[in-house]
Structure 1
Amino acid sequence: MFELEESKDIHGFLILNRERFEKELLSVAVNVRDKINEIHLIGNINLLDNAHQLILLVVNQKEKEVMEFAQKEGILWAKHAMTLSFKLEWIRAIRKTFWSFLELFDGMNSVDKKSQEFYAETSTYNELIDSFINNFFISYSTYKDELIEKQRTLVNKLSVPIIPITPDVSILPLIGTIDSNRANVIEEKVLFEVGRLRIKTLIMDLSGIAKMDNDAIELFLKLLNGITMMGSKLIITGLRPEIVSNMMKLNVDFGTKVTTRATLQNALQDYLKIDQLNNNDTLEDLFSKVIQ
């Protein structure tokens, strides 16, 4: 059992009795205490140091510093994907231990607060702790949202790889699933690149497309119309049976605007007059033969 050091002000009391405070805090935060070393290792976050820093900011009523500290903490927890339930339990434990020490401090200094004074103090301290929680979660969610958006933008850019193979001919190999969001991204990127590169013939290979929902098909058809309106010849290769079936249900008719070929190899043979291609060639093989 630690002997409590006396102090005439709460700030000094908390500093002098930090070791006792940490012991009490760990006894309250049952689920977090076993994760302290792991959290420190993963995110270089010292929970005990941070808890002590927070309560000192609270008792000194440093509202701005509390908010800045919370924002910094939120980014750290988001960056390292730390478990939020641990943070919630830790803050609850800090609040409970803090109020326990306020009671001990008043008792040691024979402070008999009037109800009005007690409630004012309670309100001030709780508002600062609540401000920390709110700013922590705002910072956490903002960082996560920005990270997700950056990752989505990166994926979208990488998922529309227009590859020029001659000054007039480019290939757009698409893979994965095309939903409405991705269809819109593809439309924006493709139309921009067709104009920028002045593509005369675009070979769009769909052999890697696993799924395309009805909304995406309709958006895809708008893209095809847009490409031909810009004066480019469009060749579609590798249409899978299930996608063709969905298109037939929607009464899709390419008409004369679009030429289809069974494989990318067939299209390259037709439009680049290359004879040494075969159906086992990878894209890397195709490009190496094209530039020979």
Structure 2
Amino acid sequence: MTVKFVSNGEVTSFLKDHKDEFEATLLSEAVNVASKINDILQKGNIDLLKNAQTLIQRVVEQKETEVIAFAEQEGIAWAKHSHSLTLSFKLEWVQAIRRTLWKFISRFIDERGEYLKQEDFFEMEKKINNNMDYFLNSFFLSYSHYKDELISSQRKLVEHLSVPIIPVSATVAVLPLIGNVDDYRIRIIEEKALLEISNLKLQTLVLDLSGVTTMEQDVIAKFEDILTGVSMMGCKAVLTGLRAELVRKMVSMGVTFHQYAETHGTLQQTLRKYVVAQEV
């Protein structure tokens, strides 16, 4: 009865020689994923079988850095097609790879007809399972990071669209505000307003508040700062559509915008004054 150390290269060679059998066993282990193999390849251009071979080679050869890099790459690819590629599929697939890999390692040891030292086996088990865990952890971190960045960029796009500054003449633009204006959104409004005044060389910015549903006291105070900034940019601020409940709240706070902005009842009145007058 002999005892022999197993090299990583020997296991890798064995797995390559039994590639077709490995893939067949893998597909039987991951029943739900197996039926989606071709669909995932078409929708996400992700070859699960090819990627499984890449993963097991790097895991068996204990290439930790390459395992993590591959996981990060996979996480991004999966996140890009998350509408059709679920995380539950990925988790099932990786766990199936782990189970299949151990089946073939066991078969490899049996076919050698030699016993493996206990300490060598446990060392192999530790390194292989650690690398599989590194892959899973790095995959989910990469997936999550990409999704967070995507959500952030989409939110910024929505914020940009929710603060539309509409030029109505060479020097006049309208900023219609709709819905709830909270502390976060008021900062976006300030940034967008001051930036567009500079970019468009505006002389008059009309802020139409007729669509604003709510504006808390701290936001009203911040709105006063925006009007100050508009004035400092050499632009005239005009407020229209101030609703009764908003005016009452401003009065109770002792806030008036008269020193910073002109007010009109409606947007139409303002446009007649500042746009039609220019045309005449």
- Normalising by structure 2, what TM-score? 0.83
The CA deviation at 1:214 is 4.8
The CA deviation at 1:201 is 1.9
- Give SS of 2:169's match: coil
Q: 1:73 to 1:245 in 2, by over 3 A?
A: farther
The CA deviation at 1:243 is 4.7
Amino acid paired to 2:49: L
1:95 aligned to which of 91, 98, 102: 98
1:3 alignment counterpart: none
1:225 aligned to which of 228, 232, 240: 228
**What whole-Å deviation, never above 9, does each CA across 1:242-291 have from its counterpart, x for those lacking one?**
655655665543344333323211111123346xxxxxxxxxxxxxxx87
Q: How does 1:225-244 map to 2 (within 5 A)?
A: 225-240=228-243, 243-244=246-247
Amino acid paired to 1:153: K
2:197 alignment counterpart: 194
Does 2:71 correspond to 1:70? yes
Q: 1:236 to 1:138 in 2, by over 3 A?
A: same
1:165 alignment counterpart: 168
Name the CA distance, whole Å, in 2 between partners of 1:42 and 1:153.
Answer: 27
Q: Is the 8 A contact 2:79 2:143 kept in 1?
A: yes
Does 2:141 correspond to 1:138? yes
The CA deviation at 1:28 is 2.5
- Give SS of 2:124's match: helix
2:54 alignment counterpart: 53
Name the CA distance, whole Å, in 2 between partners of 1:80 and 1:260.
Answer: 50
The CA deviation at 1:217 is 3.5
Amino acid paired to 1:188: E
2:113 aligned to which of 110, 113, 122: 110
**What whole-Å deviation, never above 9, does each CA across 1:111-141 have from its counterpart, x for those lacking one?**
3122211111111112221221222122212
1:258 alignment counterpart: 261
Name the CA distance, whole Å, in 2 between partners of 1:136 and 1:112.
Answer: 35
- Unaligned ranges ≥5, structure 1: 1-7, 275-289
- Give SS of 1:111's match: coil
**What whole-Å deviation, never above 9, does each CA across 1:10-61 have from its counterpart, x for those lacking one?**
2222122223222322232233233333322221112222112211221222
Aligned pairs, number: 270
Amino acid paired to 2:11: I
- Give SS of 1:9's match: helix
Name the CA distance, whole Å, in 1 between partners of 2:217 and 2:47.
Answer: 51
Identical aligned pairs, as a percentage?
48
1:32 alignment counterpart: 33
Q: 1:41 to 1:216 in 2, by over 3 A?
A: farther
Q: 1:158 to 1:115 in 2, by over 3 A?
A: same
Amino acid paired to 2:76: I
2:131 alignment counterpart: 128
Larger RCO, structure (CA 8 Å, separation 6 or more): 2
- Unaligned ranges ≥5, structure 2: 1-8
The CA deviation at 1:89 is 1.7
Name the CA distance, whole Å, in 1 between partners of 2:87 and 2:203.
Answer: 53
Q: 1:15 to 1:232 in 2, by over 3 A?
A: same
- Give SS of 1:253's match: coil
Does 2:264 correspond to 1:269? no
Name the CA distance, whole Å, in 2 between partners of 1:205 and 1:166.
Answer: 16
1:85 aligned to which of 84, 88, 112: 88
Query: RMSD value over aligned CA atoms?
Result: 2.7
Choose 203-212 or 53-62, whichever is displaced more.
Answer: 203-212
Choose 71-80 or 172-181, whichever is displaced more.
Answer: 172-181
Choose 99-108 or 197-206, whichever is displaced more.
Answer: 197-206
Amino acid paired to 2:133: D
**What whole-Å deviation, never above 9, does each CA across 1:187-208 have from its counterpart, x for those lacking one?**
1221233345443321112334
